[in-house]
Amino acid sequence: MRHIISMLLENEPGALSRVVGLFSQRNFNIETLNVAPTDDPTLSRLTVTTNGDERVIEQITKHLNRLIDVVKLVDLTEGAHIERELMLVKVKAQGGAREEVKRTADIFRAHIVDVTPSVYTVQITGDAPKLDAFLQAMAPVGVLEVARTGVSGIARGDKVLSL
Amino acid sequence: MELLSGADMIARFLKDEGVEYIYGYPGGAALHIYDALFRQEDVKHILVRHEQAATHMADGYARASGKPGVVLVTSGPGATNAVTGIATAYMDSIPMVVLCGQVMSSLIGEDAFQETDIVGVTRPIVKHSFSIRHPSDIPTVLKKAFYIASSGRPGPVVVDIPKDMTAPTERYEYSYPRKVRLRSYNPAGRGHTGQIRKAVDLLTSAERPVIFAGGGVITGRASEALTDLAHRLNLPVITSLMGIGAFPQNDPRSLGWPGMHGSYESNMAMHESDLVLGVGVRFDDRVTNNVSKFCPHARIIHIDVDPSSISKTVHADVPIVGAADSVLNEMLNQLGQRQPAEPVSLDDWWAKIDGWRDERRGKLYEPAAPGEPLKPQQVVEAVHRITHGDAYVVTDVGQHQMFAAQYYRFNQPNRWISSSGLGTMGYGFPAAMGIKLSYPDEHVVLFTGEGSFQMMMQELSTCKQFGIPVKIVNLNNASLGMVRQWQDLNYKSRHAHSYMESLPDFEKLIEAYGFRAITVHTPEELDAALEETFRSKDELVFLDVHVDPREHVYPMQVPQGAMCDMLLSKTERT
């Protein structure tokens, strides 16, 4: 099963490599990875999506918790949560396709953020299936380049991940 | 507040932390630190002949004393030579602090002379690591390193120190930090009371219980509580290889250690048990054999300070995260408060266990007849007799290691010193040296083989320089015995590179360093040679015992079988 594990990490050099290294060292799988500083400059928030049965996920969370640089950790998929990913995608936009791309982008509530005579750059946010669906819709037109941030997520309701 | 350079802070911190010995080897990036060590007398530096030996010395000291061993090496090759020793300590959860010189911070990343990203290289084999970014951070970082290395589930910590951090010209305020706090690191303490109650319920109602105690009982100083619990409930006690000594082996409740070459009775008892109380063990693959056939009738209680050890290989029915000593004492408390109900009788269980013991009594091996080549087992038994079972016993890795574990009997913790997890050949000699330095009044015996010993024999020179009189018992079968055994069993005796065709004349070799060697070939010569070897505690003696190379280690679990599936000799199996 797919899990979204989100953690607060000491904003220290090498902290990220410890997390990533753990996954390869223990033969765990990383599907997406997203990391950036938080409002507290000493902490980064790192979100990883991974696959595994209950036993594997338990091992992943335990081994992550064992890393000294991991301050706090939550498996978002254990409860109601919001997950988002941002994608920038360049698509061919020439002739009739220009209008078609614009229409499809509107349907997906995406934004065209850069324009040339032959290319549109589209920004779209959502969960992973939505982004996948958009790429599929664009395939006939011609997808030139894709940049995805990986999943970021947060729990619904009053629950917060903080110190 | 005093003003000290980074290098002086390191020397001073080590003194304030109570470190007596550090083991190391100098080089460019560490020279400021070496100069600071030269200008003080409190911390004694032992110059090894290869950095790997420094880490094993620190490791041996740590296993015997329970305190972190400290290593100092230079950047690049100095640090990479230490890697095997760091990995050894990591696998066996041994507290160690490794200080590595590094090139100047302005040069990092430029492939400077003797530059290695040692933090990167060691990342998967350390509990944690630090890079010093400012000299004024040195006292706090070092305190954190010692705290992390020695608390919770211990392990090695690497501290990378760029040369400019130790420059003698720059001075900073120094004070010894008595305590450090880490917001992201809180080692487990007390266990969950409800879980402990469940465990006590199971323990008091089980019909075929066993205790399975590991190295965590020794590092957690929980031997006494474990012994109390075993006595209170009359439980059979099996220790892992790392846990040897956690429970006295002269106690009739001790069944020895289980696994690949474990005792017949311990493997049978674990397989047949209906409850395993695991304490400070990690149910590693050398114990469980095929996990899917492991203890088919048993519920598992697993106490460990490290939650990631629990349910890693074997599912725990009652997981208890906590320090072994605290949890075992809480179990004893709860037992004390209970109404003395009619306890479940373990008489049948003990009768069964005694039956297994009787089955193998006197059949473990055939001692050599006069004039015949000695059996390694009888040499270990003879060393046990002459040292009255209270020596520090250190081993290398291979057949001799298993024979030592099987035939030396341990009644106290911290006396059995062996690289169990990583299985590092070459570990033993330096580890024994590290122990002897700190315990000069004790016998420190190294059981080794000519294969392992040759991996670290350059340390004879260190023994000469610092006067480190360890006793070396070389079980010389002129072959890599364990490899040869596997080749006998699985490769139709095709001995691919398991034969040492050009052994040195060990007597001459040892004499070249100014020590004495005694060579023994037959049983008649053994006792006198041992008398001579162990006459004093102040002389290094190398006992080169030529043993029967055809001997195999038994029992030996059948690969992919259950714990009870064992070869018992070259002709018998369960």
Closest of A151, A132, A149 to residue A2, by C-alpha: A151
> What span, in angstroms and rounded, lies between the C-alpha atoms of B73 and B33?
10
Place of tokens 């301050």: A71
> What span, in angstroms and rounded, lies between the C-alpha atoms of B552 and B376?
10
Residue of B105, B308, B314 best to disrupt the A interface, most CBs of A under 10 A: B308
**pLDDT reading at B501 higher than 90:** no
Mean pLDDT of B311-332: 96
C-beta atoms of A21 and B124 within 8 A: yes
* pLDDT 10s digits, B67-99: 999 999 999 999 999 999 999 999 999 999 999
Neighbours of B482 (CB within 10 A): 22
> What span, in angstroms and rounded, lies between the C-alpha atoms of B425 and B417?
13
The CA distance from B183 to the nearest CA of chain A, in Å, is: 7
Neighbours of B168 (CB within 10 A): 13
What pLDDT sits at residue B2? Answer: 87
Q: What residues in chain B have their Cβ under 8 A from chain A's Cβ atoms? A: 119-120, 123-124, 127-129, 131, 148, 182-185, 306-308, 310-312
Q: What is the CATH number of domain B376-553?
A: 3.40.50.970
Q: What are the chain B neighbours of A163 within 8 Å (beta carbons)? A: 183
- In the residue annotation, B485 being an active-site residue is answered as no
What pLDDT sits at residue B218? Answer: 97
What pLDDT sits at residue B341? Answer: 64
Q: Which tokens hold the place of B464?
A: 């000469």
Identity of the residue in B185, B307, B310 whose CB atom sits nearest the CB atom of A68: B185
What pLDDT sits at residue B53? Answer: 98
Cβ distance B43 to B19 under 8 Å?
A: yes
Residue A126 CA: distances (Å) to CA of A76, A148, B59: 16, 11, 52
Asked, colleague to colleague, whether B2-174 and B376-553 share their fold, the answer is yes
Query: Which sign, positive or negative, has the C-alpha torsion B313, B317, B323, B325?
Result: negative
Q: What is the CATH number of domain A82-152?
A: 3.30.70.1150
So where are chain B's domains? 2-174, 193-359, 376-553
- In the residue annotation, B113 being an active-site residue is answered as yes
Q: What are the chain B neighbours of A55 within 8 Å (beta carbons)? A: 311
Q: Work out the mean pLDDT of chain B and round it to a whole number.
A: 96
Give buried/exposed letters for B76-95 (b at 16+ CB in 10 A, else e). bebbbbbbbbbbbbbbbbbb
**DSSP type of residue B566:** E
C-beta atoms of B148 and A63 within 8 A: no
Q: What residues in chain A have their Cβ under 8 A from chain B's Cβ atoms? A: 10, 13-14, 17-18, 21, 25, 55, 58-59, 62-63, 65-66, 68-72, 163
Identity of the residue in B119, B123, B306 whose CB atom sits nearest the CB atom of A66: B306
Give buried/exposed letters for A92-119 (b at 16+ CB in 10 A, else e). bbeeebbebbeebbeebebebeeeeeeb
Closest of B250, B318, B316, B314 to residue B287, by C-alpha: B314
**Tell me, which fold does domain B2-174 have in CATH?**
Rossmann fold (3.40.50)
* pLDDT 10s digits, B417-475: 999 999 999 999 999 999 999 999 999 999 999 999 999 999 999 999 999 999 999 99
- A29 three-class SS: coil
- In the residue annotation, B104 being an active-site residue is answered as no
Outline where B165-321 has alpha helix (H): 193-205, 215-219, 223-233, 264-272, 285-288
A5 half-sphere exposure, CB direction, 13 A CA radius: 27
Q: What are the chain B neighbours of A13 within 8 Å (beta carbons)? A: 131
Q: Which residue of B has its CA nearest to A42?
A: B183
Cβ distance B108 to B98 under 8 Å?
A: no
**DSSP type of residue A114:** E
C-beta atoms of B312 and A18 within 8 A: no
> What span, in angstroms and rounded, lies between the C-alpha atoms of B213 and B186?
24
Cβ distance A62 to B307 under 8 Å?
A: yes
CATH number for B193-359: choose from 3.30.420.240, 3.40.50.1220, 3.40.50.11540, 3.30.365.10.
Answer: 3.40.50.1220
So where are chain A's domains? 2-79, 82-152
Peptide bond preceding B555: is omega within 30 degrees of 0, i.e. cis? Answer: yes
**pLDDT reading at B362 higher than 90:** no
C-beta atoms of A68 and B124 within 8 A: no
* pLDDT 10s digits, B149-198: 999 999 999 999 999 999 999 999 999 999 999 999 999 889 999 999 99
C-beta atoms of B312 and A59 within 8 A: yes
- CA-only gyration radius of chain A, Å: 18
Q: Which tokens hold the place of B351?
A: 């009768």
Residue of A18, A46, A60 best to disrupt the B interface, most CBs of B under 10 A: A18
**pLDDT reading at B340 higher than 70:** no
Beta bridge partners of residue A34, listed in sequence order:
A47
Angle of helix B324-337 relative to helix B223-233, nearest 10 degrees, comes to 30
**pLDDT reading at B342 higher than 80:** no
Identity of the residue in B131, B148, B312 whose CB atom sits nearest the CB atom of A68: B148
Identity of the residue in B123, B185, B307 whose CB atom sits nearest the CB atom of A21: B123
Give buried/exposed letters for B350-361 (b at 16+ CB in 10 A, else e). eebbeebbeebe
C-beta atoms of B184 and A70 within 8 A: yes
What homologous superfamily is domain A2-79 in, according to CATH?
Answer: ACT domain (3.30.70.260)
What residues contact B82, with CB distance under 8 A and at least 6 apart? Answer: B51, B52, B54, B55, B71, B73, B98, B100
- Give the amino acid at B518: I
The CA distance from A93 to the nearest CA of chain B, in Å, is: 44
Place of tokens 């691919």: B496
* pLDDT 10s digits, B473-486: 999 999 999 999 99
Q: Where are the beta strands (DSSP E) in B369-408?
A: 392-395
Residue B215's pLDDT band, with cuts at 50, 70 and 90, is very high
> What span, in angstroms and rounded, lies between the C-alpha atoms of B23 and B47?
6
Question: Exposed, middle or buried by CB within 10 Å (0-12, 13-18, 19+), for A87?
Answer: buried
What residues contact B381, with CB distance under 8 A and at least 6 apart? Answer: B407, B408
Q: Does this complex have an ipTM over 0.90?
A: yes
**DSSP type of residue B353:** H
- In the residue annotation, B492 being an active-site residue is answered as no
Cβ distance B33 to B161 under 8 Å?
A: yes
What residues contact B340, with CB distance under 8 A and at least 6 apart? Answer: none
- B349 three-class SS: helix
Q: How do strand B416-417 and strand B471-476 relate by DSSP bridges? A: unpaired
Q: Which long-range contacts (CB under 8 A, 24 or more apart) does B360-366 make?
A: B360/B263, B360/B264, B360/B265, B360/B568, B363/B568, B363/B569, B364/B406, B364/B554, B365/B551, B365/B554
Q: Which tokens hold the place of B59?
A: 């490791």
Mean pLDDT of B504-520: 97
Q: Which residue of A has its CA nearest to B117?
A: A14
Question: Exposed, middle or buried by CB within 10 Å (0-12, 13-18, 19+), for B411?
Answer: middle
Residue of A25, A60, A68 best to disrupt the B interface, most CBs of B under 10 A: A68
What residues contact B488, with CB distance under 8 A and at least 6 apart? Answer: B552
Output phi, psi for B257, to 5 deg: -120, 155
Q: What are the chain B neighbours of A21 within 8 Å (beta carbons)? A: 123-124
C-beta atoms of B127 and A63 within 8 A: no
The CA distance from A14 to the nearest CA of chain B, in Å, is: 8
- In the residue annotation, B51 being an active-site residue is answered as yes
Output phi, psi for B139, to 5 deg: -60, -45
Q: What are the chain A neighbours of B185 within 8 Å (beta carbons)? A: 68
Beta bridge partners of residue B188, listed in sequence order:
none
Q: Which residue of A has its CA nearest to B125?
A: A25
C-beta atoms of B308 and A21 within 8 A: no
Cβ distance B553 to B485 under 8 Å?
A: yes
A24 half-sphere exposure, CB direction, 13 A CA radius: 7
Q: What is the pLDDT along chain A (163 residues), one digit of tens a residue?
A: 999 999 999 999 899 999 999 999 999 999 999 999 999 999 999 999 999 999 999 999 999 999 999 999 999 999 999 999 999 999 999 998 999 999 999 999 999 999 999 999 999 999 999 999 999 999 999 999 999 999 999 999 999 999 8
- B381 three-class SS: helix
Mean pLDDT of B34-47: 98
* pLDDT 10s digits, B101-142: 999 999 999 999 999 999 999 999 999 999 999 999 999 999
Q: What are the chain A neighbours of B131 within 8 Å (beta carbons)? A: 13-14
The CA distance from B397 to the nearest CA of chain A, in Å, is: 25
Cβ distance B543 to B530 under 8 Å?
A: yes
Asked, colleague to colleague, whether A2-79 and A82-152 share their fold, the answer is yes
Beta bridge partners of residue A75, listed in sequence order:
A5
Query: Torsion over CA of A112, A113, A116 and A120, rounded to 10 degrees?
Result: -40
Q: Which of B9, B13, B17, B51 is catalytic?
A: B51
Q: Which of B482, B556, B563, B566 is catalytic?
A: B482
Query: Which sign, positive or negative, has the C-alpha torsion B4, B7, B13, B14?
Result: negative
Q: Which of B114, B334, B412, B454 is catalytic?
A: B114
C-beta atoms of B307 and A66 within 8 A: yes
| Greatest alpha-carbon span in chain B | 75
Q: Rounded to a whole number, what is the distance in angstroms from the first to the last CA of chain B?
A: 70
